[in-house]
Chains A and B, each alone.
Chain A
Amino acid sequence: MKIYLGVMLAAVCLLPLTTAGQEQEKKPFVQARGSVVPVPLPPGGPPPKMSDGHVDLSGVWFPGPTGKANAWSILPEQRPKEDPIPFQPWAETKYKSFSRVDLELGSANVNCTPVGVPGMFTDNAYVHQIDTKPGQLIHLIENNNRWRVVHTDGRPHKSKDDLEPLFNGDETAHWDGDTLVIDSISIDERTWIRDGWFHSDQLHVIERLRRPSLNYLEYQFTIEDPKVLTKPWTSAWITLSLGHEDLTENFCTRNENVEQLKKLAAQDKK
């Protein structure tokens, strides 16, 4: 009954979109079956637990609340409300100087380079697979077949002499109640936090993962970067939802965008 009411309410809420639908009829090809109105999943009950009593985060997780791919959603892309990024003045100037073409040309996804941490979540529109067991989390993302393995037993970071710049950094994790906290340092400076937000070698990323119910995973991250920011910054919680599909192969084997965008950048400079 609750699920039925939820679906009904969602349908009522989405009624204004029919106006947009009528407008679509004036355009060609808008009846494509891939264009979907997303309907959120119900909570689905309590989250499962692992043998050590911690919440099991395992599952195939789609960004958004539908448990499905949302690429053809008819709803506009939106960002949750967050505090402004507390850039130091020089960093603010640099960040604001990026044109849209600059942002594309610097994007890991455009260049088929590693998205790093927190880019595995912030620069990834595709599906995740997470497998957890006591002491370990395996994180796979479909986008370019990227992966990381994180120890979740609270071990310390490597010693300073053993650290090296890595795209995913030196990661370790511990449980804070039902929230898994992943702590990363020594992150390669070629990654972005997201959308042109560059960082220094002093970047410290604290990611939080929690599963409030069977069907939902939530993600939040904090950025500390004393060379670039005036103070730490914490994101809004991002929602992912449980899917029932396998990840599919997605290798970057035909990248034409970099050369095309370079041509555009040269044209824009004329």
Chain B
Amino acid sequence: MKAAAGITFCLLVLFASSPTFAHHAFAVEFDSSKCSDLTGTLTKVAYENPHAYLFVDGKNAAGEKVEMTFQLSSTSNLKRGGATYAALNGSVNKEVTVRGCLSRNGTDNRYAASFVKLADGTIQRVGQDVEGIFGTKIWR
């Protein structure tokens, strides 16, 4: 009985701890089966809404030298998670590595980013869990 009550309480706490519903689902637009680590030079940061973007010159998953676009979360989520304007812009013209999932609509070199390793070695989470790394991939 005590065990059952304990499990019930734990479920309640876990349930109460659940995040709220997302702005919208990246996993619709981006392919969770086509994700890879992509390295190159960060050329520009667009710190805007509803999504910020990183532009990176580097090699895509096919090994071709290209300009890649990475969609991030909103500036609200980025700054509260530590990926501030200054933190991201500090890596402009330097090498970064981004975990990105390719767009499903065929647009070349357009990705959703979940994490970025900045030039100083710090790693920031910057976008939705398209791959389901945390089991939090969002499908409505």
Contact = CB atoms under 8 A, between A and B. Distances in A.
- Is A bound to B? yes
Interface in A1-48: 9-10, 12-14, 20, 24, 27-35, 37-40
Given A30-B133, A256-B51, A66 B24 contact: no
A129 to B, nearest CB: 13
A125 B24 CA distance: 9
A263 interface: yes
B91 to A, nearest CB: 15
Nearest to A98: B140
A32 B125 contact: yes
Contacts of A39: 17
B20 A70 contact: yes
B7 to A, nearest CB: 9
A60 B135 CA distance: 29
Given A29-B99, A72-B77, A263 B106 contact: yes
A29 B38 CA distance: 12
B88 to A, nearest CB: 13
B19 interface: yes
Contacts of B125: 29, 32-35, 72
Contact of B73 (A71, A101, A196, A264): A71
B10 interface: yes
A85 interface: no
B129 to A, nearest CB: 9
A107 interface: yes
A41 B115 CA distance: 28
A104 interface: yes
Contacts, number: 193
Interface of B: 9-10, 13-25, 28-29, 37, 46, 48-51, 53, 71, 73-77, 79-83, 99, 103-107, 110, 114-117, 123-125, 131, 133-136, 138-140
Contacts of A143: 23, 76
A34 B81 contact: yes
Contact of A65 (B9, B17, B22, B77): B17
A220 to B, nearest CB: 15
Contact of A76 (B18, B104, B107, B140): B18
B48 A31 contact: no
Interface in A99-137: 100-101, 103-104, 107, 109-110, 112, 122-123, 125-127
B75 A248 contact: yes
B1 to A, nearest CB: 17
Given A14-B14, A252-B50, A24 B134 contact: yes
Contacts of B99: 28-29
B19 A75 contact: yes
A103 B80 contact: no
A71 B133 contact: no
Contacts of A110: 24, 50
A73 B136 contact: yes
Contacts of B10: 9, 12-13
Given A13-B13, A104-B24, A261-B29, A74 B136 contact: yes
Contacts of B82: 33-34
A28 B115 contact: yes
